[in-house]
Copies of this chain bind each other. A is one copy, B any other.
């Protein structure tokens, strides 16, 4: 796997480019060689209804997985497809995500993400595949 090219501060700047990320108030908590940690504060739109909940959590899985790639390539990649599994209701509070690159291919990059609630319960997890336009970091 390729080494990181962005630290937490630089990754935060990449994250903040997107208005949706600013609306979610995404914070980069950790960047290390094995993956990234991001979190978002609770807000009404995340929590009152199951349908909304699922949508926001899918958005978080995509965001967290893509930022794990950005840490290694300098920027996120376009998502080919995204899969999210829902494991249980989230407790209101800060949501924390962990993202890891599974395979850095020359054409397709695969990354996993896990989303935890403030109590540490796994509320969603999933995987995205991303199109490696530049072919960077691939093997």
Chain B minimum-CB-distance residue to A21: B52
Q: Is A117 an interface residue (CB 8 A)?
A: no
A87 B110 Cβ-Cβ under 8 A = yes
Contact size range, A:
35 or more
Decide: A85 and B76 in contact? CB cutoff 8 A: no
User: A116 interface residue, CB < 8 Å from B?
Assistant: no
How far, in whole Å, are A105 and B86 apart by their CA atoms in the complex?
10
What are the residues of chain B within 8 A of A128 when measuring CB–CB?
A: 54
**Interface bits A16-38 vs B (CB < 8 Å: 1, else 0):** 01111101000000000000000
CB contacts (< 8 Å) of A120 on chain B: these are: none
Copies in the complex: 4
Set of chain B residues within 8 Å of A67, measured between Cβ atoms: 51
Q: Complex formed: what's the CA distance from A102 to B112 in Å?
A: 13
A91 interfacial contact with B, CB 8 Å: no
Q: Which of B49, B52, B60, B127 contacts A55 (CB 8 A)?
A: B60
A92, CB-defined interface residue at 8 Å: no
Taking CB atoms and an 8 Å cut-off, the chain A residues in 111-127 that contact chain B are: 122, 125-127
- Whether a CB of chain B sits under 8 angstroms from the CB of A8 is no
A82 at interface, CB cutoff 8 A? yes
A91 CB, nearest partner CB in chain B, Å? 15
Which residues of chain B are near A55, meaning CB under 8 Å? 20, 58-60, 62-63
